[in-house]
Structure formats: structure tokens, C-alpha cells
Chains A and B, each alone.
Chain A
């Protein structure tokens, strides 16, 4: 009988394959089966090669070995490429990005909130008011919070209709949406709405340190914190309070700034600052205190003298910014809108986040000034803006704004409209704004003004860990499928394939019939 080494190799390879597959399974019987197969496989392969060796002089063997060698080489090449691809896949797994495009991703809680919940030091109760009117997005949000399964956080949903007593128990006012209570310290913070930022801040407040005190400089005709008119600062005050800041109004010509104060909040009033006040503020800043300063070009007096001691010059000018009207025409505007996503303190904001200023004063830093303060621009005007030094138009009856930069004294853009600075010796932090009208009740809620206020407050008071979490919009998927629509859809599901089939058959038969008549004579 003619022996065929090729068949021996095939049988051997099959034994080895089954042996390898069986070795993947655990169990005694598989071990035995696998060993037996591998032994048999090796035996067959050895015998096949022995036969091949013996008959290597014959032409068949030479031819076969040539083909086999080629096949093995190709196989090795294929496996090598496969391995490279596989290793590449594993290596690139963590490097290549992926984008979650689902609406569900909206409800992936921000890392900072997850971290805050996981790192809670004491038990916290979160009581929230939910009803049938509660938007789905908020319900989903609460679900996600609950799914974090923190042992120290208990989420209580209160239906005001079914359980009015619970509302009383947690003392939640009717206009608010819930409360976060630290079970140990009984420190509490109400929730005005159900979103990540609100819950995050409330949790941090309830589980965090005591409130910080901020001196609010008065006595120069500054806008009032309790004034709820358009020019008042009542809304700003509530923002400060919601950040856990205790505001202490004080006049500095009588007493010095106390050691309890973490910072000073200085607005431009109707009177100049007294030298003694300036000196006290400087002493406070050099001693490690922080401050926020606002310049108002529309007012006759200012804090320019004070700023010049810091190396900041604020020329008498108003920033004017050309803007495109809806008709596509360029016109100058006193109100300027600035994107702030790239600003040093606002990197957590949406990329489209912007703030709105009105009548801003350009702020110029004297780089040659010998001072321990180092300033960086926080908000910069666009390049096409200019600082108008001729301010007569502000008091003119027609109120028309200059349309182009005319005077040689005017300041060419871009220039800073807000600065942040740090004292390299004491570590004090200050923020200087060329406009204070954006804090007024009429403007503080425009665009991201309120968020900017929160951020700078946190920064000056040394609470950078605060991360603003922007509200994300959610659009729940809905389906309004009536019985009639469902029937139409079903008809389509059946009718479309039928139509396709009929069309295809018609086309095929037509094509065939055209040919058959003739073809019959051919065959």
C-alpha cells in the first residue's frame, strides 16, 4: 500500500487541534482527552515526517514538501499579522478615544459629584420633593445618584401630595425642591432645583467646613446689598450666601480689618477711598487676605489710586466693541460679550460659556512696576474693540456711541477687562474687574455672570475644589404610535417585501421571456 505522509500530517493536525481545544476546558476528563489527543497528534506528525524523510528522494515528496513549506510560510505570515493586529488592538484600547453619543450619557454623573458622594465623611440625608410634574431628566438624575450606592448618603423622595408630613419633618419651604442634611452636625442646605451643581454644592456645604466671612466695604455710596431694584445687589448677595459666605458690611476709616475676615469686597462708590482705607486694605492683602475689586467708569470717582499702587493702570476709557447686527451690519456697542471657557478660572465651563459686561474700563498692567503682585488677564476684549477716551458721549443727550476709533489717545484692543493676581510673598489673591454693573440685579443672571461670580469668589477664598457643573439638557425619547399608525407600519413591513419580490420576478420573467422566444430556436 502506498503511504501518504500528507494524510498523516492532516490527521495529526486534527488530533492536535482537538487536544488544544480540550485543554481550554477544566476538569479531569478534559485533561485526559486533551493529553491523549496531543500524544496521538504528535505521534502522527512524527510518523508522517519520518515517511517524508524516507521518501524524500521521490518527486512527489519534493513537490509536496515545497508546497507544504509555502503553505506553512503563508500560515506563519498570516498568524504574525493576526498577532500584530491583536496586540495593536490591546495596546490601543486605552489610547483611542470613544464618544458616547447617547442621551443616556447626559445622566452619567460628573466625576466630581461621584467623588464627593464616595468620599462623604459623615452620613447625609438628601430629601427631595418629587411629583408627577417632575421632569424626567431630574428623575433620571436622582436614579443615577441612588445607583452610586453610597452607604453614607440616603436619598428620600417625598411626594408632597401623598406625604405632606415628610415636608414638615424636613422643613422644606414650598418654593424649594429639597434639602441636604448632615446627620451628624445637623448642618443643612436647601436645594433650589434638582441638578448636579446644586446637589454638589449642597453636599459640600453640608459636609464641609464652617462659613467664611467676607468684608463688604461701605461708606462711599456703594450699591446696597438689600436693594432689589435693577441697580441693586440683592441677587448677588444671595449668590454669596449660597456659597456659604457670610457678608460683613464695614467702613474702614474707623476700624481695621479683623483677623476673621477672609477677604474684602470693594465696589466703586460715589466717594474716593480714604488713604487710611487704602493703607489698611494693603496691609490686609500683604498679610495673606484676599480681595475682589470693581471699577466703574460711569461713576465720577474710582479706585484708580488704589489700583495704581498694585501696578495696574486704569485710564479713563470705556471699552467699545463692534458687533454684527442681525442685518449683517457692524455697529459699536457698550455691552460686550466674552467667551470665558479658556479663562484661567473657568476651564470647567461649557465651551460656549460667555459673560456680559456693560461699560467696562480697560485695565493695563505695568510690567516694569516693582511689586510682589503678579497679574494675569481673566477676560480680554476682542482685537477689534477699542478703549474710547472721549467720554463726553456718555453725558450727551442723544447717547450715540462712537462707531469707529478716532482719537489718538484711544486704546487699541485687545486689552484686559479683568485681572487676577497673586502675591508671591503672602499668597494673597485678588481679582480686579473693569466693570461692576454686571453684578447688579439686572445683569447678574445674564449668560454666565452668576457662575463667574461664584468661581472668582471661590478662587479668592481659596476654594478651588469647587467645580461648576453645567446643567445638561435632556430630551427623552418618545413614541406616539396610534393603532392606525401601527397598522400602516405593519402593512409596510409586509407590503414592501412583497412589492420588491413582485418587481424582481416581473423584471426577471420579462428578461427571460424576451430571450426564450429566440433561445428556443437556438437550443
Chain B
């Protein structure tokens, strides 16, 4: 628990990534509406929200897998469209269900991704060793990805995201499939990354998951950032703040029926 307060080694105060009024509709449903926030180098941010709040879509927008309908995403002050290749080389993304080539072994999968990232053989071997160590994958490196348990798949996914030493890491519900021991290992891993000044955005609908790993919590509801909380050890207090933020939004939006009339979905259905 105390790990979240460990300060990163080279914390800079510059804004690495700035999201300005991001909006996204899928199938004519507004999933993200006017999301804005800043990420500084070494930040460890938790995206907290109920199911369907738009966390996954937000992370997909941040990782350039989706194009926003409007709004801007600035990487070091430059629109990511202008520096797409550089941006993609600088980020790592772990989806909620880790995407793996099931017919390949862990090593083949990671080697392939390393080659796609342009790593040459010597460097690739070094990075493989590093991520095996970080994600504790040495014992399973020759196993077919299709044969792995969900926890291990998640770890291989994380290794894929870390292979090219990204400076921004987007993790979508990374601890969902992990057992307590693996969660602890995961927490240690995140603190290591923070020491290396990697900015981590970590989404979850479980308050406890994000509160122990992150120092800042962005509460997302219906695609909007309704609160920017400072993480504390007091879980009950955090929970209170979270529900207060969500409930106040419920009130602000002048009840549920109005949204239905406008064709927006009830919470929990989208994303």
C-alpha cells in the first residue's frame, strides 16, 4: 500500500500528454464526451469508473486505436496526428483481454512484436530477457500462448507493452485476472516503472485496485471526467468521494429519462 507514495526517480513537471475535449461516438452513441486532462512524466493515474463509463474507449483513444470525433490529443505539445509514428513508438498499451497469437509460443509472440518495433537481434534478446524478468515469464517462454491461463496471458500482454521501453503506458483493467500473489507482483512492477519515470494510466472499476497503485484518480462517468482525486490510504474516504462525484453528476444531468430521449444509452451498456 505504501508503494504508491514512492516518488519516481526523475520526475519532471512537463505535461507529456494533454487530452483536450476528446469526444467519441460509437454506433451513434456518445461514449466519451468532452474529456480533458493532463498527464505529466512519471504520473501514475488511475481511471476509475463504473462499467460502461467509457474507460476502455478513453484508453483506446489515448493509444490511437480510435480516432476522436473531435478534440485534441497533444504529445509534448504536438498533435499526435503530426507525430503518429513517434507517439506509437513511445506508448505501450495493454487491453483488458490481452491480445496474443495463440498458435505462437510466448517467445515467438514477443520476438515478432519486437521485430515489428524495429528491434535488432542483439537488442531484441536483451529486451526479451528484461521483460521475462519484469513480468516473471521465464518459466513459460516456450509455452503456446493459447495454452496459458488468463493471468499469464495478461502478463505476456504486459510484456508486449513494455518490450520497447515506452514512456507512456496505458493499462486497461490489468489486474482483473490476476490472483492475489500476482497482484502483489504487479504492484511491485508498477512501482519499478514509476521509478523509471514511465507515465502509467491504469483503468479499473475496482477502487482498491487503482488506489494502491496510483497517486491520482480520474473518475470517469458517462464519458466525462467528473472528479480528479488524490489517492490516499483511506479507502473509505476515497469511496465516499467517488460516489459523491458520480451521484452529483446524476443530479446534474437532470435525470435518466432525458438521456434516453436524446438517444444515449443507460449506463453499463456501452463501451
Which residues in A have some Cβ–Cβ distance to B below 8 Å? 2, 59-60, 63-64, 511-512, 514-516, 518-519, 522-523
Contact = CB atoms under 8 A, between A and B. Distances in A.
Nearest to A2: B263
B142 interface: yes
Contacts of B142: 514-515, 518
Contacts of B105: 515
Given A2-B263, A60-B263, A519 B69 contact: no
A2 B142 CA distance: 54
Given A63-B28, A522-B147, 18 more contacts: A59-B25, A60-B25, A63-B25, A63-B69, A64-B28, A515-B105, A515-B142, A515-B144, A518-B142, A518-B147, A519-B143, A519-B148, A522-B140, A522-B148, A522-B152, A523-B147, A523-B148, A523-B149
Nearest to B25: A63
A2 B28 CA distance: 12
B227 to A, nearest CB: 26
A488 B271 CA distance: 62
Name the 8 nearest CB pairs between A and B, nearest first: A519-B147, A515-B144, A523-B149, A515-B143, A522-B149, A60-B28, A519-B143, A515-B147
Nearest to A520: B147
Contacts of A63: 25, 28, 69
A2 B149 CA distance: 45
A443 B144 CA distance: 81
A333 B139 CA distance: 83
Contacts of A522: 140, 143, 147-149, 152
A511 B263 CA distance: 52
Contacts of A60: 25, 28, 263
A31 to B, nearest CB: 39
Interface string B69-108: 1000000000000000000000000000000000001000
Contacts of A511: 144
A103 B111 CA distance: 52
Interface residues of B, number: 14
B143 A518 contact: yes
Interface in B105-152: 105, 139-140, 142-144, 147-149, 152
Contact of B147 (A2, A59, A64, A516): A516
A516 B148 CA distance: 10
A179 to B, nearest CB: 76
Contacts, number: 36
A92 B166 CA distance: 53
A302 B105 CA distance: 94
A516 B105 CA distance: 12
B99 to A, nearest CB: 18
A323 B235 CA distance: 103
Nearest to A516: B147
13 contacts: A2-B263, A63-B28, A64-B28, A515-B143, A515-B147, A518-B139, A518-B147, A519-B147, A519-B148, A522-B143, A522-B149, A523-B148, A523-B149
Nearest to B139: A518
B267 to A, nearest CB: 20
A263 B147 CA distance: 97
A514 B143 CA distance: 8
Contacts of B149: 522-523
Contact of A518 (B25, B69, B140, B263): B140
Nearest to A67: B69
Contacts of A519: 143-144, 147-148
Contacts of A514: 142
A446 B140 CA distance: 81
A84 to B, nearest CB: 30
A61 to B, nearest CB: 10
Nearest to A512: B144
A515 B263 CA distance: 50
A421 B28 CA distance: 89
A522 B138 CA distance: 13
B40 to A, nearest CB: 33
Nearest to B152: A522
A246 B133 CA distance: 104
B122 to A, nearest CB: 27
A511 B104 CA distance: 10
Nearest to B148: A522
A522 B156 CA distance: 13
A523 B179 CA distance: 13
A64 B263 CA distance: 15
A80 B139 CA distance: 56
Contacts of A2: 263
Nearest to A64: B28
A13 B156 CA distance: 46
Contacts of B140: 518, 522
A344 B143 CA distance: 78
A515 B147 CA distance: 8
Nearest to A60: B28
A518 B27 CA distance: 43
A512 B102 CA distance: 11
A518 B105 CA distance: 12
A512 B80 CA distance: 42
Contacts of B148: 519, 522-523
Contacts of A64: 28
A180 to B, nearest CB: 74
A512 B146 CA distance: 10
A443 to B, nearest CB: 72
Contacts of B28: 60, 63-64
B153 to A, nearest CB: 10
B101 to A, nearest CB: 14
A514 B140 CA distance: 12
A59 B28 CA distance: 9
A514 B25 CA distance: 46
- Of B139, B140, B142, B147, chain A has the most CB atoms within 10 Å of the CB of B147
Nearest to A519: B147
Nearest to B105: A515
Contacts of B25: 59-60, 63
A518 B139 CA distance: 9
Contacts of A515: 105, 142-144, 147
A514 B105 CA distance: 11
Contacts of A59: 25
